[in-house]
Amino acid sequence: MSIDEVATAAASGAAATERFHSDKSPYAAVRDTPPERVNLLAREILGAVHDTIRRHHVTYDEYNAFKAWMIQVGEDGEWPLFLDVWTEHVVEDVNTSHRRGNKGTIEGPYYVPGAPEQGADGVIPMRDGEHGTPLTWEGAITSTDGTPLAGTIELWHADDDGYYSQFAPGIPEWNLRGTFTTGSDGRFRIRTIQPAPYQIPTDGACGALIDAAGWHSWRPAHLHVKVAAEGHEQLTAQLYFPGDAHNDDDIADAVKPELILAPVTQPDGSVHVDYGFVLDPA
């Protein structure tokens, strides 16, 4: 990386904000929400803020620092990061608690649709000599009744330095992003590398909060997936590695025991995992 290619919070934040705007149409889906519900949610959220101010006697200096910090989150483009780290896990929880199939978890800010197709048995796009322990992952997509499903697994993850393509500079566009499509037996075999633990950017507004509150900024190493099959609910999940120092204190609170892999190290030093997905009928 050259000096003008250093990963910064503002650059990855701006990319995440741009991705959110281009990828989703956030207002369209709630256009018919009645004012009663907007009123209820807005009033409760503001009420929770008011309660905190009263309970802890927030000073004007603290209020002004909060205001300046909120402005900075926007200027750094860090709202997607902030919300996905500290809020999304609860939204995910309440919206998937009915499922009998696979547990899911948060999407996070770095999903990009349209990753290159690699078939049912393929290698994720990566650079020549991509750093990191080679990982072979086998499994199947099935329905809750055990029927194998033809479907897709979109996989994206950080590299061995903890950086995501399209959100950090100097990485090829689709690096470590691929779409794997299963046939009627549901089976897939994916070759990639093990990602490194991920540190949320420390030099922006979210980093300033973490620092001021005495928190840490780490997520455990993880593989992101979106799994889809016709007639079934789409699954968004992340898979984790046993023994990671942050599986128990993930800053994004997104680890669930069912999502921790059981990797087996091979004689050549590579790692093999078996993990399949069970989707709920829609």
- Where along the sequence are the contacts to Fe ion (CB under 5 A)? 108
The piece of 77-85, 111-119, 173-181, 239-247 that touches ligand DHB (CB under 6 A) is 77-85
Distance CA(122)–CA(125), nearest Å, equals: 9
CB of residue 76 vs ligand DHB: minimum separation in angstroms?
12
8 Å CB contact between 229 and 149: yes
Give yes or no for residue 219 binding ligand DHB (CB under 6 A): yes
Backbone angles phi, psi at 150, to 5 degrees: -75, 125
The piece of 29-37, 79-87, 112-120, 182-190 that touches ligand DHB (CB under 6 A) is 79-87
State which residue, 237 or 278, has the beta carbon closest to ligand DHB. Answer: 237
Q: Which residues contact 189 (CB under 8 A, 6 or more apart)?
A: 120, 121, 122, 136, 137, 138
Give yes or no for residue 112 binding ligand DHB (CB under 6 A): no
CB of residue 221 vs ligand DHB: minimum separation in angstroms?
10
35: closest CA among 43, 45, 23, 26?
43
Distance CA(264)–CA(273), nearest Å, equals: 6
Considering CB under 6 A, how many residues would be counted as binding ligand DHB? 10
Q: Which residues contact 117 (CB under 8 A, 6 or more apart)?
A: 178, 179, 181
For ligand DHB, the binding residue among 239, 252, 255, 273 (CB under 6 A) is: 252
Residue 149 interacting partner from ligand DHB, Fe ion, none (CB closer than 5 to 8 Å by kind): none
8 Å CB contact between 120 and 180: yes
Give yes or no for residue 221 binding ligand DHB (CB under 6 A): no
Residue 109 interacting partner from ligand DHB, Fe ion, none (CB closer than 5 to 8 Å by kind): ligand DHB
The piece of 58-66, 107-115, 177-185, 268-276 that touches ligand DHB (CB under 6 A) is 107-115
Give yes or no for residue 223 binding ligand DHB (CB under 6 A): no
8 Å CB contact between 150 and 183: yes
DSSP labels, 240-274: E-TT-TTSSS-TT----GGGB---EE-TTS-EEEE
Type and span of the H or E element at 92: helix 88-96
Give yes or no for residue 271 binding ligand DHB (CB under 6 A): no
State which residue, 77 or 186, has the beta carbon closest to ligand DHB. Answer: 77
Mask for 198-217, x = binds ligand DHB (CB under 6 A): x-x-----------------
Binding footprint of ligand DHB on the chain (CB under 6 A): 81, 84-85, 108-110, 198, 200, 219, 252
